[in-house]
Chains A and B, each alone.
Chain A
Amino acid sequence: MSLLELDGVKVHFPVKKGLFFDRTVGHVYAVDGVSLSVEAGQTYGLVGESGCGKTTLGRAVLRLNDITDGAVVFDGTDLAKLPSEEMRAFRRRLQMVFQDPLGSLNPRQNIESILAEGMAAHNIGKDQAERREKIKEILAKVGLPSNAMSRYPHEFSGGQRQRIGIARALVLEPDVIICDEPVSALDVSVQAQVINLLEELQESLGLTYLVIAHDLAVVRHISDVIGVMYLGGLVEEAPSDALYAGPRHPYTKALMSAVPVPDPEVEDRRERILLHGDLPSPANPPAGCRFHTRCPWVQETKCATERPPLLDTGDGHKVACHFTAEIEAGTVKQTLATGIEAVISTEAVATEAVEVSEGDAETADAPVKKEEEPATVPAQADAGEAERAEESPKA
């Protein structure tokens, strides 16, 4: 039994319109069926691009967002169905560190007051003196002088503020800390300090982390297990090393290829997978596999119609793709070119085609209509114009 288990969690935000009475005209499917489990004492890293729902998922665990459907089981209790007062009590054991260190601290409270408030809410410490001792102790643990207590958030540096944020979580002695982009607002030099602090605290206090980030290096450094999110769903989950050594989902492959390699020679030769287009809107997600509109390996069957489940492909490496094995074995062909030249030329061909002949609509609309006919048309468009690109994408 894992300490924290999410089972089919969905968070849908209603889109409302109306002059006097709000009517629900649609939903934003921010998180759409995510299941994962976090083992006690481990760190689960959640990565994905902006807008994929990772922050919403983190907040849903603490019920800071309403959970539309699914279960969040923490230590045997389903938090999703808890009445609000009981949930409030549970928040002592589940804490959060926020992305914006300044924005998440009340500018009109001094540090002691910020830290003591949570303790008072959960009846930790008998009186102010006892709380003060405890706060001093925690401040020392996160590397802040005890005279910080009477100062205000705007009087600290970014890294110090994030330490205060961590201290706020720690004074409640939680079991799980959800770190929502804990270092993305900090300077690179300070990022390492905060990450190391988080690791030290995990070791000394036996904490469990759910780290949400878009920085792949940070997540790799800190996580035991990593989940990759795309448009509200998990597409791949694997132990950290396995994921970085051999990503299996096309989206993860593209994501990993975005990480630069320190060796300039390797960097020059290695293949970059560039994705076409933008992240689709979570208010109107594509049918079937969420990634099929941008997937370089998209196939004619299944991809656009059937949503792939997250299945174990061996060694705890879970992938949500219909063609994982085929892509690994190289038996399915890449249908969309992925080099930089390919991306540019596809678009160039498309615009030319529009200008030349209105009649040949199929070619002209090719990049736009990817959803309907993803497999063949763009490949044709490539064929003539992008011969140079043909060399690179085959790996």
Chain B
Amino acid sequence: MTILTNKADKIDRLAELTQSSEAVTGTSLWREAFRRMRSSKMAIIGAAIIAAFVLVAIVGPMLAPHGPTAQNWRSEVFPNQGKFVGMRGENWFGLDHLGRDMFSRWLVGARQTLLVGVVSMLIGLIIGAAVGILSGAAATLGGKVGQRVDTVIMRVTDIMLSLPSLLLAVSIAAVLGQSLTTVMIAVGVVQIPIFARLLRGSMLVQGGADYVLAAKAVGIRRKRIVLTQILPNSLSPVIVQATLSLATAIIEAAALSYLGLGNPDPAVPEWGVMLSQAQRFFDNEPMMAAYPAIGIIITALGFTLLGEAMREALDPKLRG
């Protein structure tokens, strides 16, 4: 009898607890994705690499033992005769052909590389997303006129996409002149059609979803449907692409710098420029090219890992 009443009590308590838990808050999909990211090794490694890179970019110039342009002439430094000084003493990465400390230049260069990557990605993301939203909204809810608008926008982005990205960037850089801003704009413009197409496609898929139809049936205004229903659900691939394109932006900026379109100012070293300068001495001193190259590769790897982990975390099909 006592067991029975105990049991009944327990059930009552349970019912009470489940009923009165007024404070229960749901887990949104964003939060859930974040939780999944935290348990993913790939995400942690990627984030760690990026964190280290960002840290170097921020504090690097302060830690640099020498100024980026300070020259240290020694009798051994004759790069043209295979006398480049490798790792030795206080110059960890050695000296370059002008006797500058490679390690200091590498530390200072990280900031420029990060800046180029982030700014050019943002140029691509912001303009591309704006075009994508316009096109996607026009295609899903704009009726017949909207579909025309969408077609025109998409043909233009198709044309941009069909141009080889490096060629486009070189042309832009050639028109605007040689500077870091040029590189950022050139790399950013190349990314615009990618973001535009991606967001538009994603919005088109979401635009056909039942909940959009339901929002229409409820009588929500079209502008609000785009902003509160379609857009938040279309963002995941764009976020992933933004992370991944940081990696490509850094590589492409390096490529442009390598081609001699980067910042000519020796006081602001950049990994791509450093790589470009090292090519003349590659036969005798491959390490001179290896340091900036390794920096670029590892950073790009970090962003790629994080991007891939995000893709997995945000994939609705894996929602458990």
Which residues does A use to contact B, with CB under 8 Å?
59, 62, 64, 88-89, 91-92, 95-96, 98-100, 103-111, 117-118, 121-122, 145-147, 150-152, 154-155, 165, 168-169, 172
CB-based nearest A residue for B155: A20
Taking residues whose C-beta sits less than 8 angstroms from the other chain, chain B's interface range is 20 to 34
B220:A118 contact, CB within 8 angstroms = yes
Shortest B150–chain A CB gap in Å is 12
Task: Check if B25 is an interface residue, CB within 8 A of chain A.
Answer: yes
Task: Check if B209 is an interface residue, CB within 8 A of chain A.
Answer: yes
Task: Check if B267 is an interface residue, CB within 8 A of chain A.
Answer: no
Q: Which residues of B contact A146 (CB under 8 A)?
A: 22
Evaluate whether A147 and B22 lie within 8 angstroms (CB atoms) in the complex, with A100-B210, A104-B214, A108-B28 already known: yes
Q: Which residues of B contact A89 (CB under 8 A)?
A: 219
Compute how far the CA of A121 lies from the CA of B216 in the bound complex, rounded to whole angstroms: 11
Task: Check if B88 is an interface residue, CB within 8 A of chain A.
Answer: no
Shortest B299–chain A CB gap in Å is 32
Compute how far the CA of A96 lies from the CA of B214 in the bound complex, rounded to whole angstroms: 8
Partner of A117, one of B26, B27, B29, B215: B215
Task: Check if B284 is an interface residue, CB within 8 A of chain A.
Answer: no
Compute how far the CA of A145 lies from the CA of B29 in the bound complex, rounded to whole angstroms: 21
Evaluate whether A147 and B21 lie within 8 angstroms (CB atoms) in the complex, with A107-B316, A117-B220 already known: yes
A104:B219 contact, CB within 8 angstroms = no
CB-based nearest A residue for B219: A91
Task: Check if B1 is an interface residue, CB within 8 A of chain A.
Answer: no
Partner of B220, one of A62, A64, A108, A121: A121
Compute how far the CA of A108 lies from the CA of B21 in the bound complex, rounded to whole angstroms: 22
Compute how far the CA of A103 lies from the CA of B208 in the bound complex, rounded to whole angstroms: 11
Task: Check if B24 is an interface residue, CB within 8 A of chain A.
Answer: yes
Evaluate whether A105 and B214 lie within 8 angstroms (CB atoms) in the complex, with A110-B28, A152-B26, A152-B28 already known: yes
**CB-defined interface of B208-247 with A at 8 Å, one 1/0 digit per residue?**
0111011111111100100011001100000000000000
A-B CB proximity, top 6 nearest: A151-B26, A91-B219, A118-B218, A103-B210, A104-B210, A152-B26
**CB-defined interface of B27-38 with A at 8 Å, one 1/0 digit per residue?**
111100000000
Evaluate whether A91 and B218 lie within 8 angstroms (CB atoms) in the complex, with A104-B210, A104-B213, A154-B319 already known: yes
Shortest A393–chain B CB gap in Å is 42
B217:A107 contact, CB within 8 angstroms = no
Task: Check if B81 is an interface residue, CB within 8 A of chain A.
Answer: no
Q: Which residues of B contact A88 (CB under 8 A)?
A: 219, 221
Task: Check if B75 is an interface residue, CB within 8 A of chain A.
Answer: no
Compute how far the CA of A106 lies from the CA of B214 in the bound complex, rounded to whole angstroms: 9
Q: Is the interface of A mostly helix, strand, loop or mixed?
A: loop
Task: Check if B162 is an interface residue, CB within 8 A of chain A.
Answer: no
Shortest B256–chain A CB gap in Å is 35
Q: Which residues of B contact A152 (CB under 8 A)?
A: 26-29
Compute how far the CA of A176 lies from the CA of B40 in the bound complex, rounded to whole angstroms: 49
B219:A122 contact, CB within 8 angstroms = yes
A-B contact pairs, 12 of them (CB 8 A): A64-B217, A88-B221, A106-B215, A106-B228, A108-B29, A117-B215, A118-B218, A121-B218, A147-B22, A152-B29, A155-B27, A168-B218
B211:A104 contact, CB within 8 angstroms = yes
A108:B233 contact, CB within 8 angstroms = yes
A108:B30 contact, CB within 8 angstroms = yes
Task: Check if B19 is an interface residue, CB within 8 A of chain A.
Answer: yes
Shortest B194–chain A CB gap in Å is 23
Shortest A145–chain B CB gap in Å is 6
Shortest A105–chain B CB gap in Å is 6
Partner of A150, one of B25, B213, B214, B232: B25
Compute how far the CA of A172 lies from the CA of B215 in the bound complex, rounded to whole angstroms: 13
A92:B219 contact, CB within 8 angstroms = yes
Q: Which residues of B contact A151 (CB under 8 A)?
A: 24-26
B211:A106 contact, CB within 8 angstroms = yes
Shortest A219–chain B CB gap in Å is 22
Shortest A342–chain B CB gap in Å is 41
Compute how far the CA of A145 lies from the CA of B253 in the bound complex, rounded to whole angstroms: 56
CB-based nearest B residue for A100: B210
New contact pairs (18) apart from A117-B224, A147-B21, CB-CB < 8 Å: A64-B213, A91-B219, A92-B219, A96-B214, A98-B214, A104-B213, A105-B211, A105-B214, A106-B215, A106-B229, A108-B233, A117-B220, A117-B228, A118-B218, A121-B224, A152-B27, A155-B26, A165-B214
